């Protein structure tokens, strides 16, 4: 295969993936990230502190939070700072207290990435008629009520022209057999995101989802 006569030599194995600098200036911006101790949240935090942002990560997992904070401190550049707080997004007072402490420490809030999420133990096992109450409640509490509680705390504190990004999923875009709780919660994230976007557009705050 070729493009414009040039042969395509890259193979999947030879591809190198790296984090690239954003096309906008994040220096001095204050960003709050849930689920910041692992995965997408931790990678986002690394990218932001390396660009000079002040990043407040939270996570329910204290062990991972501590090692994430250590690695992030090493990535801070050009005024980048890190604040790590143990927060369970299911707990309203913990979420409210966290956002209050972020604004107290950094003086403002420019953006948030609400990424804390879980998958059910019963994924690929239970059909709708088999669903167990504990799994259903756990997944909806973290994946949708948690996002709502974070946005409820963040929006009143957010600067004009701020930005909120919530974690939906490809499961927000269709039906997924034997994955009802997660699919419902992620559909809910899309609805919550669209609703909030219409409510805060007059403050030039953008609210969007990712759907990996
Ligand atoms: N990685 C993917 O391919 C993918 C695909 C679709 C959707 N997503 C969504 O993106 C988000 C991030 O995914 P990831 O792969 O980085 O996940 P991950 O499991 O690597 O990280 C999620 C983090 O959320 C934290 N968390 C879980 N429950 C919490 C709670 N109650 N309070 C606070 N923190 C809590 C975990 O401790 C963990 O550190 C999730 O919402 C996930 O559903 C990811």
CA nearest ligand 1 atom 3, residue? 212
pLDDT digits (tens, 9 = 90+) for 121-134: 999 999 999 999 99
Domain span at residue 64 reads: 25-210
Is 16 part of a structural domain of the chain? no
- How many angstroms does the Cα of residue 157 sit away from the middle of ligand 1? 24
Q: Do the Cβ atoms of 26 and 1 come closer than 8 Å?
A: no
Give the pLDDT band of residue 1 (cuts 50, 70, 90).
very low
Is 10 part of a structural domain of the chain? no
Is 69 part of a structural domain of the chain? yes
Q: For residue 19, what pLDDT is reported?
A: 65
Average pLDDT, the chain: 93
Is 4 part of a structural domain of the chain? no
Q: For residue 22, what pLDDT is reported?
A: 62
Ligand 1 proximal residues by C-beta, below 6 Å: 34-35, 37-41, 59-61, 64, 87-90, 115-118, 142, 146, 167, 169, 212
Is 173 part of a structural domain of the chain? yes
Is 8 part of a structural domain of the chain? no
Q: Do the Cβ atoms of 90 and 146 come closer than 8 Å?
A: yes
In ligand 1, the atom with minimum distance to the C-alpha of 89 is 32
Pocket test residue of 32, 33, 35, 143 for ligand 1, highest count of atoms within 8 A of CB: 35
Any idea what the CATH number is for the domain that residue 100 is in? Answer: 3.40.50.720
182 part of the active site: yes
Return the exposure string of 107-122: e unless at least 16 CB atoms fall within 10 Å of the residue's CB, then b.
eebbbbbbbbbbbbeb
pLDDT digits (tens, 9 = 90+) for 39-77: 999 999 999 999 999 999 999 999 999 999 999 999 999
Pocket test residue of 44, 116, 140 for ligand 1, highest count of atoms within 8 A of CB: 116
Picking from 38, 156, 40, the residue whose alpha carbon sits closest to that of residue 99 is: 156
29 part of the active site: no
CA–CA separation, 172 vs 77, rounded Å? 36
- How many angstroms does the Cα of residue 189 sit away from the middle of ligand 1? 14
Q: For residue 164, what pLDDT is reported?
A: 98
Question: For the chain, how many structural domains are there in total?
Answer: 1
Is 5 part of a structural domain of the chain? no
CA–CA separation, 32 vs 54, rounded Å? 9
- How many angstroms does the Cα of residue 34 sit away from the middle of ligand 1? 9
Phi, psi of 208 (to 5 degrees): -135, 165
Cα–Cα distances (Å) from 139 to 54, 104, 207, in that order, read 30, 31, 22
Is 3 part of a structural domain of the chain? no
């Amino acid at each position: 295969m070729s493009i414009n006569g040039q042969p395509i030599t890259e193979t999947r194995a030879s591809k190198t993936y790296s984090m690239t600098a954003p096309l906008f200036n994040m220096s001095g911006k204050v960003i709050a990230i849930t689920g910041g101790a692992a995965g997408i949240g931790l990678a986002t935090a690394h990218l932001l502190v390396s660009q000079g942002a002040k990043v407040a990560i939270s996570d329910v997992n204290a062990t991972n939070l501590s090692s994430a904070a250590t690695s992030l401190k090493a990535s801070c550049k050009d005024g980048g700072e890190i604040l790590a707080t143990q927060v369970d997004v299911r707990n309203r007072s913990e979420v409210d207290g966290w956002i209050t402490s972020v604004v107290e420490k950094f003086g403002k809030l420019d953006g948030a990435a609400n990424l804390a999420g879980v998958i059910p133990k019963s994924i690929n096992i239970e059909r709708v008629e088999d669903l167990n109450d504990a799994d259903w409640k756990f997944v909806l509490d973290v994946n949708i009520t948690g996002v709502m509680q974070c946005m409820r705390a963040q929006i009143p504190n957010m600067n004009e022209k701020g930005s909120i990004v919530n974690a939906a999923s490809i499961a927000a875009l269709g039906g997924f057999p034997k994955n009802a709780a997660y699919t419902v919660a992620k559909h809910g994230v899309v609805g919550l995101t669209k609703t909030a976007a219409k409510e805060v557009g007059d403050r030039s705050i953008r609210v969007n989802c990712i759907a990996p």
